[in-house]
């Protein structure tokens, strides 16, 4: 529908699609309650181990991924979609390009969430943090994300506003980066419809996983809410953004720096030192853009601070941005190696994550919902007082949560490293750190419960607001405008002087990396020349340069390409060298190889040997149960860790682990060298009832390991898959897999029978015991009388 104004400007009538915004808003609230509820359940399990009611599908290891995924992808994710669909249409002055795609995005995303809610409690998981979904669901995620991307970029193409506002930049970076991260991290080799092995192993898997894991935080939990902040805070405060210039610096430096920071999750592990240091440096550098963005948000409220007293929306936004500032201060702080030495594996990290996810993302989402919902129903908010009550209860709840985790985290770090005057562990019994934390666990449970209860107030307020209004349809008259007119073609932009200089600098920088010692000074000189030429060109043609970026901001395709290049640089620089080098590492070292290169003798000493079929079955159960969520398998090179757990972990000890299980939290002991530390009976008793061997333990019982069985035939296929990924299984290993599986199981079964314990040789218990006894040791006997094959192995 078009009309003509008196000044001959073509006017278009645009009807925004707010039905999709309403749908995403509703599920945001529903899934938010679910995420908080599951969080309270698993928090209660840490306080009271009985809280899983003896049900395997309610155990901590299975529910924890459900909690994190529900909070991140269901609560924040749906809130993100609601905010993006609402603000994008208004910022671009156009309806979303295709309603069918919008609804496919909605229903597809809900299907992903439902499948996650079903598969995780069943133990179907990849056990990679925030990437636990099994491969068929991963494919669905990719399809849904592509649908969202197509709809979004199509909308950009048909927009009626030529300028791309800063919020849109953040949405673009989110869409392209999440696509890259998700696909690269989830490359895997399926062994069945419900199981797969990641193509990466050991250190490769660790680096790729935390490159993904950290940037899931960056580009799912940070850039979308920042984009939403740049829209909804401005709407709520009725003030333009404090500094547009700062938002330009904020955006580009944030997306460029964030992508490098992943290795700070692996400090003091077996990751190469250079990668650790790189992750630490870029994490510290993130302080600047993060705080720049925070200040830009808070200062947008200049002149509107009086609203803080009366407007719950502003209250939620201010606390959200404050938590953003706190989290982005704490993150770089924890990335400093000496601080990480204390804080890593402790509850401090859990507190940090919740400050970001619930304090920053949660409050931002609440604020957006309170602002948007009455408008979606053409009415007033049902009760401002209830919103105020929600705000205060949630604030007290999150503060109780975060502070208690800080206290218990720092305490745990200090407990673990405390030494006596003789240089030995002051608290050699690990459980002391847990018993010391119990009060803090109770406090966390209280804080989480308050947060959950407060969300019911939101739900009630939203229901009553909707009941007093009716779904509104927003119709606007906007000037019709084609964004790519006026000779601003993509080609003209791509061949403009600034773009050519940027390309030249990138190409020369890469050439410098590839050039040998003879050529590198020449390339470096060229690099300097091009840089100086760029400065001169800028001096001569300032207006054109200034105009150029303005054009980039209006040209979605060029802007997207530049954003993609920015995020690819960091990932490529860290991951490609590690993958190339890792692929050169021999997974088998023979005497002949050592004779040629004597330095390989030390490597051969630590080089991991393939798991036996039963051990592999045990490892798959370990992965399925999410044991790594409480038990690390990575002993850091500190005296207190070596004294407690054994020799520090070497990189070559986990090269064959698909996925790696280094872990990121120690509610229980590190298990890297638990093999041989206790006998089979101890493990049996401990798994059946952890209190029988560790009286103060809060670990769940795993009685179903005794009754559950593993089909040995399955292991043959899984070993074949691992061989394709590089594990040196011989044809004989695979041919004899079932036989060795059963004979090793029989050994464990016979051992326990002597202790009056009856288990089947093909039980999950036998497999888990075999795996745990293998950790930190070489191959174990697979038959009562070791045959020639076993000896060769």
Partner 1 sequence: MFQDYFAQSDHLIWPVIGLLIFVLLFVGVLAYVFLGLRDKDKVNEIAALPLSEDSATDDHLNNPSLADGRAP
CB 86 within 8 A of CB 35: no
CB 64 within 8 A of CB 130: no
- Which range, of 379-387, 433-441, 443-451, 761-769, touches partner 1 by CB under 8 A? 379-387
Phi, psi at residue 744, to the nearest 5°? -70, -40
Distance CA 202, CA 260 (A): 20
| Token digits of residue 187 | 């490359």
Size of the site for partner 1 (CB under 8 A): 87
Give yes or no for residue 154 binding partner 1 (CB under 8 A): no
Among positions 511-530, residues that touch partner 1 (CB under 8 A) are 512-513
Give yes or no for residue 668 binding partner 1 (CB under 8 A): no
- Which range, of 104-112, 324-332, 503-511, 710-718, touches partner 1 by CB under 8 A? 503-511
Among positions 272-301, residues that touch partner 1 (CB under 8 A) are 272-275, 278
Among positions 729-788, residues that touch partner 1 (CB under 8 A) are none
**CA atoms within 13 A of residue 572's CA, in its CB half-sphere:** 9
Q: Which is nearer to partner 1, 160 or 746 (CB)?
A: 160
Give yes or no for residue 578 binding partner 1 (CB under 8 A): yes
Sign of the CA dihedral with 594 first, then 600, 605, and 609 last: negative
Q: Which is nearer to partner 1, 96 or 234 (CB)?
A: 234
Least Å distance between CB 278 and partner 1? 5
Among positions 637-656, residues that touch partner 1 (CB under 8 A) are 650-652
The only residue of 302, 380, 385, 470 in contact with partner 1, by rule CB under 8 A? 380
Phi, psi at residue 242, to the nearest 5°? -55, -50
Site string for partner 1, 465-484 (x = CB under 8 A): -------x-xxxxx------
Among positions 228-247, residues that touch partner 1 (CB under 8 A) are 230-231, 234-238, 240-241, 243-246
- Tell me the sheet residues that pair with 198: 188
Give yes or no for residue 503 binding partner 1 (CB under 8 A): no
Least Å distance between CB 176 and partner 1? 17
Considering only the C-alpha atoms of the chain, give the largest distance between any 2 of them, rounded to a whole number of Å. 98
Q: What is the CA radius of gyration of the chain?
A: 28
Q: Which is nearer to partner 1, 233 or 452 (CB)?
A: 233
Least Å distance between CB 779 and partner 1? 21
Give yes or no for residue 709 binding partner 1 (CB under 8 A): no
**CA atoms within 13 A of residue 372's CA, in its CB half-sphere:** 30
Q: Which is nearer to partner 1, 387 or 714 (CB)?
A: 387
Phi, psi at residue 261, to the nearest 5°? -80, -10
Q: Which is nearer to partner 1, 27 or 381 (CB)?
A: 381
Give yes or no for residue 533 binding partner 1 (CB under 8 A): no
Distance CA 408, CA 396 (A): 18
Give yes or no for residue 586 binding partner 1 (CB under 8 A): no
Least Å distance between CB 470 and partner 1? 11
Distance CA 21, CA 13 (A): 20
Least Å distance between CB 49 and partner 1? 39
Q: What is the DSSP string of 492-521?
A: HHHTSHHHHHHHHHHHHHHHHHHS-TTTHH
Q: In the block, which residue shows the tokens 């229980």?
A: 668
Least Å distance between CB 148 and partner 1? 22
Sign of the CA dihedral with 123 first, then 128, 129, and 133 last: negative
**CA atoms within 13 A of residue 94's CA, in its CB half-sphere:** 23
Q: Which is nearer to partner 1, 161 or 432 (CB)?
A: 161
Least Å distance between CB 455 and partner 1? 18
Among positions 354-373, residues that touch partner 1 (CB under 8 A) are 370-371
The only residue of 495, 581, 590, 730 in contact with partner 1, by rule CB under 8 A? 581
- Tell me the sheet residues that pair with 493: none
Least Å distance between CB 302 and partner 1? 13
**Polymer length in residues for the chain:** 793
Instruction: Give the containing element (helix H, strand E) for 368.
Output: helix 363-376
Q: For every residue of 704-747, which 3-state class applies, written as one string?
A: HHHHCECCHHHHHHHHHHHHHCCCCCCHHHHHCHHHHHHHHHHH
Give yes or no for residue 790 binding partner 1 (CB under 8 A): no
Cβ neighbour number for residue 356 with a 10 Å cutoff: 23
Give yes or no for residue 150 binding partner 1 (CB under 8 A): no
Q: Which is nearer to partner 1, 578 or 763 (CB)?
A: 578
- Which range, of 206-214, 248-256, 410-418, 779-787, touches partner 1 by CB under 8 A? 248-256
Give yes or no for residue 322 binding partner 1 (CB under 8 A): no
- Which range, of 311-319, 324-332, 625-633, 735-743, touches partner 1 by CB under 8 A? 311-319
The only residue of 98, 322, 379, 709 in contact with partner 1, by rule CB under 8 A? 379
Q: Which is nearer to partner 1, 306 or 758 (CB)?
A: 306
Q: Which is nearer to partner 1, 461 or 743 (CB)?
A: 461
Question: Does residue 755 sit in helix, strand or coil?
Answer: coil
CB 675 within 8 A of CB 702: no
Cβ neighbour number for residue 448 with a 10 Å cutoff: 25
CB 17 within 8 A of CB 96: yes
Number of helices (H), then strands (E), belonging to the chain: the values are: 35, 5
Q: Which is nearer to partner 1, 16 or 360 (CB)?
A: 16
Least Å distance between CB 398 and partner 1? 22
The only residue of 181, 381, 400, 766 in contact with partner 1, by rule CB under 8 A? 381
Cβ neighbour number for residue 209 with a 10 Å cutoff: 25
Phi, psi at residue 701, to the nearest 5°? -85, 150
Q: Which is nearer to partner 1, 478 or 681 (CB)?
A: 478
Residue 664 CA to chain centroid, in angstroms?
Answer: 12
Give yes or no for residue 722 binding partner 1 (CB under 8 A): no
Among positions 54-93, residues that touch partner 1 (CB under 8 A) are 87, 90-91, 93
Among positions 87-126, residues that touch partner 1 (CB under 8 A) are 87, 90-91, 93
**Which residue in 308, 333, 303 sits closest to 320, CA to CA?**
308
Instruction: Give the containing element (helix H, strand E) for 30.
Output: helix 19-47
- Which range, of 157-165, 177-185, 399-407, 420-428, touches partner 1 by CB under 8 A? 157-165
344: left (phi over 0), alpha (psi -120 to 50) or beta: beta
Query: How many angstroms separate the Cα of 180 from the Cα of each of 111, 175, 185?
Result: 22, 9, 9
Among positions 383-412, residues that touch partner 1 (CB under 8 A) are 384, 387
Q: Which is nearer to partner 1, 388 or 689 (CB)?
A: 388
The only residue of 54, 190, 378, 728 in contact with partner 1, by rule CB under 8 A? 378
Q: Which is nearer to partner 1, 255 or 710 (CB)?
A: 255
Give yes or no for residue 424 binding partner 1 (CB under 8 A): no
Q: Give start and end residues of each alpha helix (H) in 754-779.
A: 764-774
Strands 196-198 and 475-479 turn out to be unpaired
Site string for partner 1, 537-576 (x = CB under 8 A): -x---x--xx--xx---------------x--xx-xxx-x
Q: Which is nearer to partner 1, 132 or 311 (CB)?
A: 311
Least Å distance between CB 559 and partner 1? 14
Distance CA 602, CA 606 (A): 7
Give yes or no for residue 312 binding partner 1 (CB under 8 A): yes
Least Å distance between CB 329 and partner 1? 21
**Which residue in 434, 404, 416 sits closest to 691, CA to CA?**
434
Give yes or no for residue 602 binding partner 1 (CB under 8 A): yes
Give yes or no for residue 489 binding partner 1 (CB under 8 A): no
């Amino acid at each position: 529908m078009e009309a003509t104004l008196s000044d001959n400007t073509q006017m278009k009538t645009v009807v925004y699609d707010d039905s999709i915004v309403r749908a995403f808003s509703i599920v945001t609230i529903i899934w938010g309650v679910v995420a908080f509820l599951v969080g309270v359940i698993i928090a209660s399990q840490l306080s009271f181990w009985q809280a899983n009611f003896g049900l395997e599908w309610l155990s901590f290891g299975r529910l924890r991924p459900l909690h994190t995924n529900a909070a991140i992808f269901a609560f924040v994710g749906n809130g993100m979609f609601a905010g993006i669909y609402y603000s994008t249409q208004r910022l671009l002055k156009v309806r979303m390009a295709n309603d069918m795609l919008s609804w496919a995005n909605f229903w597809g995303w809900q299907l992903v969430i439902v499948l996650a809610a079903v598969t995780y409690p069943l133990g179907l998981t990849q056990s990679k943090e925030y990437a636990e979904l099994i491969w068929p669901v991963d494919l669905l995620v990719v399809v849904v994300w592509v649908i969202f991307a197509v709809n979004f970029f199509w909308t950009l193409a048909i927009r009626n506003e030529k300028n791309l506002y800063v919020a849109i930049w953040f949405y673009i970076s989110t869409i392209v980066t999440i696509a890259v991260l998700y696909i690269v991290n989830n490359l895997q080799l399926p062994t069945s419809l419900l199981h797969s092995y990641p193509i990466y192993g050991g250190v490769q898997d660790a680096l790729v996983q935390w490159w993904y894991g950290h940037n899931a935080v960056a580009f799912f939990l940070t850039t979308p809410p920042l984009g939403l902040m740049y829209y909804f805070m401005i709407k709520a405060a009725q003030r333009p953004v404090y500094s547009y210039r700062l938002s330009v610096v904020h955006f580009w430096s944030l997306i460029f720096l964030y992508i490098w920071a992943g290795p700070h999750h692996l400090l003091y592990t077996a990751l190469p030192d250079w990668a650790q240091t790189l992750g630490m440096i870029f994490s510290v550098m993130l302080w600047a853009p993060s705080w720049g963005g925070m200040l830009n948000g808070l200062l947008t409220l200049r002149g509107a601070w009086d609203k803080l007293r009366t407007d719950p929306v502003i209250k939620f936004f201010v606390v959200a941005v404050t938590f953003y500032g706190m989290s982005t201060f704490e993150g770089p702080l924890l990335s400093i190696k000496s601080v990480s030495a204390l804080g890593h594996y402790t509850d401090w990290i859990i507190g940090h994550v919740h400050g970001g996810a619930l304090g920053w993302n949660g409050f931002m989402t609440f604020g957006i919902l309170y602002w948007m919902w009455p408008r979606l129903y053409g009415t007033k908010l049902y009760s401002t007082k209830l919103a105020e009550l929600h705000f205060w209860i949630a604030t007290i709840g999150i503060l109780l949560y975060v502070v208690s985790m800080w206290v218990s985290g720092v305490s745990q770090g200090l407990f673990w490293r405390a030494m006596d005057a003789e240089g030995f562990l002051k608290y050699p019994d690990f459980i002391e750190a847990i018993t010391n934390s119990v009060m803090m666990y109770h406090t966390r449970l209280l804080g989480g419960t308050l947060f959950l209860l407060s969300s019911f107030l939101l739900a009630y307020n939203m229901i009553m607001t909707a009941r007093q209004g009716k779904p509104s349809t927003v119709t606007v008259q906007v000037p019709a405008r084609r964004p790519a007119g006026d000779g601003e073609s993509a080609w003209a932009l791509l061949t403009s002087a600034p773009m050519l200089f940027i390309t030249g600098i990138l190409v020369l920088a890469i050439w410098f990396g590839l050039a040998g010692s003879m050529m590198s000074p020449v390339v470096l000189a060229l690099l300097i020349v091009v840089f100086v030429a760029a400065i001169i060109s800028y001096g001569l043609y300032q207006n054109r340069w200034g105009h150029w970026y303005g054009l980039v901001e209006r040209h979605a395709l060029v802007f997207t390409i530049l954003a993609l290049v920015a995020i690819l640089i960091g990932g490529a620089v860290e991951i490609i060298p590690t993958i190339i080098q890792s692929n050169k590492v021999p997974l088998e070292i023979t005497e002949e190889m050592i004779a040629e290169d004597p330095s390989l003798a030390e490597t051969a000493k630590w080089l991991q040997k393939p798991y036996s079929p039963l051990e592999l079955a045990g490892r798959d159960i370990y992965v399925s149960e999410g044991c790594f969520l409480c038990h690390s398998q990575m002993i850091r090179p500190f005296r207190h860790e070596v004294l407690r757990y054994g020799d520090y972990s070497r990189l070559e000890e986990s090269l064959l682990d698909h996925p790696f299980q280094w872990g990121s939290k120690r509610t229980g002991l590190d298990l890297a060298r638990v093999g041989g530390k206790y006998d089979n009976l101890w493990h049996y008793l401990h798994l059946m009832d952890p209190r029988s061997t560790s009286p103060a333990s809060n670990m769940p019982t795993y009685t179903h390991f005794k009754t559950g069985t593993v089909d040995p035939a399955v292991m043959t296929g899984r070993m074949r898959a691992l061989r394709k990924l590089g594990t040196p299984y011989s044809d004989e290993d695979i041919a004899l897999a079932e036989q060795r599986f059963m004979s090793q199981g029989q050994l464990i079964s016979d051992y326990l029978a002597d202790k009056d314990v009856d288990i089947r040789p093909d039980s999950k218990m036998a497999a888990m015991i075999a795996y745990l006894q293998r950790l930190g040791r070489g191959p174990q006997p697979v038959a009562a009388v070791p045959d020639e094959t076993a000896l060769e192995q």
